[in-house]
Structure 1
Amino acid sequence: MFMRLFVCFLATFMANGVARFGYVVLIPLLILSGKLTENQSIQLAIAVMVGYVFGSAALSSLQKRMSLEGIAKISFLVIALSFFACYLDRLPFAWAWIWRFLAGVAASCLMVLSAPLCLSLVKEQHRSYASGFIFSGIGVGVVCSGFILPHFASDIDMAWIFLGAVGLVAFLLSCVFLKTLHPPKNSTHKEAPFKISTFFALLLVSVVLNAIGYLPHTLFWVDYLVRSLHFSKAVAGASWAFFGFGAASGTILSATLAKTLGLKNASSIVILMKSISCVIAMYSTDITWLNLSIFLMGFGTTGNLTITSTMAYHIMGREHFVQASSLVTLAFGIFQAVFSFVFTWALGHFSFYEMFLVSGVALFLAFVVLLPVPKSTFKNN
Structure 2
Amino acid sequence: MFMRVFVCFLATFMANGVARFGYVVLIPLLILSGKLSEHQSIQLAIAIMVGYIFGSAVLSLLQRRLSLESIAKISFLVISLSFFACYLDSLPFAWAWFWRFLAGVAASCLMVLAAPLCLSLVKEQHRPYASGFVFSGIGVGVVCSGFILPHFASDIDMAWIFLGAVGAGAFVLSCLFLKTLHPAKDAAHDGTPFKISNHFALLLVSVVLNAIGYLPHTLFWVDYLVRSLNFSKGVAGASWAFFGFGAACGTILSATLAKSLGLKNASSIVILMKTASCAIAMFSTDIAWLNLSIFLMGFGTTGNLTLTSTMAYHIMGKEHFVQASSLVTLAFGIFQAVFSFVFTWALGHVSFFNMFLVSGVALFLSFAVLLPVPQSTFKNN
TM-score, with length taken from structure 2:
1.00
In the TM superposition, what are the counterparts of 1:308-327 in structure 2 within 5 Å?
308-327=308-327
Any idea what SS the aligned residue of 1:319 has? coil
Matched, 1:24 2:13: no
Structure 1 residue 88 and structure 2 residue 88: aligned? yes
Cα deviation digits, residues 148-206 of structure 1 (max 9, x gap): 00000000000000000000000000000000000000233141010000000000000
Distance in 2, matches of 1:333 and 1:190, equals: 25
| Partner in structure 2 of residue 205 of structure 1 | 205
Partner in structure 2 of residue 282 of structure 1: 282
- SS of the residue 1:304 aligns to: helix
Q: Which runs of 4+ in 1 moved over 4 A?
A: none
* Alignment RMSD: 0.6
Matches within 5 A, 1:228-267: 228-267=228-267
Residue 345, structure 1, aligned to residue 345, structure 2 = yes
Q: Distance in 2 between matches of 1:186 and 1:378?
A: 30
The reply to whether residue 161 of structure 1 matches residue 161 of structure 2 is yes
Number of the residue aligned with 2:185: 185
Instruction: Tell me, in whole angstroms, the C-alpha distance in 1 between the residues paired with 2:292 and 2:187.
Output: 50
SS of equivalent to 1:188: helix
Structure 1 partner of 2:216: 216
Q: State the alpha-carbon separation in 2 of the partners of residues 4 and 93 from structure 1.
A: 37
Q: Kindly provide the amino acid, as one letter, of the partner of residue 292 in structure 1.
A: L
Instruction: Deviation per CA, 1:219-268: give whole Å up to 9, x if none.
Output: 00000000000000000000000000000000000000000000000000
SS in 2 for 1:271: helix
Report what 2:368 is aligned to.
Answer: 368
- Equivalent positions of 1:34-113 (< 5 A) are 34-113=34-113
CA deviation digits over 1:51-103, x for unaligned, max 9?
A: 00001111111000000000000000000000000000000000000000000
Taking a change above 3 Å as real, the CA distance of residues 190 and 16 of structure 1, as seen in their structure-2 partners, is closer
Q: For structure 1, which segment, 310-319 or 186-195, has the greater mean C-alpha deviation from structure 2 after superposition?
A: 186-195
Distance in 2 between the 1:347 and 1:354 partners?
A: 10
> Which residue in 2 is equivalent to 1:175?
175
Q: Give the equivalent residue in structure 2 for 1:136.
A: 136
Find the aligned partners of 2:264 and 2:79 in 1 and give their Cα distance.
34
| Structure 1 residues 233 and 57, CA gap change in structure 2 (3 angstroms) | same
Query: Offset at 1:217?
Result: 0.1
Q: In 1, Cα distance between the equivalents of 2:153 and 2:348?
A: 26
> How far apart, CA to CA, are the structure 1 residues paired with 2:226 and 2:367?
32
Cα distance in structure 2, aligned partners of 1:135 and 1:380 = 24
- Separation (CA, whole Å) in 1 of partners of 2:362 and 2:186: 41
Distance of 1:7 and 1:231 partners within structure 2: 36
Gaps of 5+ in 1: none
Q: What one-letter code is carried by the residue in structure 1 that aligns with 2:302? A: T
Question: Can you give the 5+ residue segments of structure 2 that lack an aligned partner in the other structure?
Answer: none
Q: Structure 1 pair 180/350, CA: closer, same or farther in 2 (3 Å)?
A: same
State the distance in 2 between where 1:112 and 1:195 align. Answer: 18
User: Counterpart amino acid of 1:136?
Assistant: S
Distance 1:233 1:375, change over 3 A: same
Q: Deviations over 1:20-45 (max 9, x none)?
A: 00000000000000000000000000
Amino acid at match of 2:210: N
Q: TM-score, normalised by structure 1?
A: 1.00
Measure the CA separation in 1 of the matches of 2:61 and 2:190. 17
Q: How many residues align?
A: 381
* CA pair 190-330 structure 1, distance change in 2 beyond 3 A: closer
Amino acid at match of 1:203: L
